Structure 1
Amino acid sequence: MNNRDEYVNKMKAKLDQWNADIEKLEAQAKEAGADMRIEHEQEIKALKAQRDEAAKKLEELQSAGEDAWQDIKSGAESAWDSLDSALNSATKRFQ
């Protein structure tokens, strides 16, 4: 397995974890009061948009040629770092 394949597999696992984290936040939002539920649902919507962007970057990585994937990697890492930070922040606020 080359570096790109390893990296893609690692990011797929991370994306799966983010999906699970978002599902947990959705469950917490359903249990919140009406005002908090609306706020949480808006935040979850934003998280899903960021997750979709990260998934798009992963697809770009997978389809990139051997030489081009390194260039795409930096943009993908930026999207993943942003989502990771947003998820951590949302998890703290939901508690």
Structure 2
Amino acid sequence: MNDKELYQQKKQTQLNEWKSGMIQLRTQALAARAHSQVELNKHVKLLEGKLEEGKIKLAELHKTTGSGFETAKKGFEITWDSIIATVDDTTAKFKAIA
């Protein structure tokens, strides 16, 4: 084998190794993306639950009259603060993962 052939073979071997490494990286990226999707879906489900809870509490608040309103309002505000925290957390997770 002459120098030219040896040089080409070395370079082809290196290219093959890099291609192999690239395939592994692509696999890891796909796995990370899938993991990220699962993680993001968990946060979305939690947020959906909190929003539904807020909707129910708001309907209860709407139905409340008289002196019961202030008590219902306090309960609603606790739920509202929880929703805000969940929205903020979910938004932060999306920004961190995306």
Post-superposition offset of 1:90: 1.4
**Partner of 2:88 in structure 1?**
88
Deviation, structure 1 residue 93? 1.6
The Cα shift of 1:33 comes to 1.8
CA distance in 1, matches of 2:92, 2:65: 39
Separation in structure 2 between the aligned mates of residue 42 and residue 55 of structure 1, nearest angstrom: 20
Q: Which residue of 1 aligns with 2:60?
A: 60
Preserved contact between residue 40 and residue 93 of structure 2 (Cα < 8 Å): no
User: In the alignment, which residue of structure 2 is the partner of 1:75?
Assistant: 75
Q: TM-score, normalised by structure 2?
A: 0.61
Q: Paired residue for 2:33?
A: 33
Pairwise CA distance, 1:66: 2.6
Match of 1:8 in 2: none
Q: How many residues align?
A: 64
**Cα offset, 1:92, TM superposition:** 1.2
Give the match for residue 48 of structure 1. Answer: 48
How many Å separate the matches in 2 of 1:63 and 1:37? 39
Over 6 Å off, 4+ runs: none
Name the % identity: 28
Counterpart position of 1:5? none
Q: 1:33 aligns to what SS in structure 2?
A: helix
Unaligned runs of 5+ in 2: 1-31
Provide the C-alpha distance between the structure 2 equivalents of 1:67 and 1:86, rounded to a whole number of angstroms.
30
TM-score (norm 1): 0.63
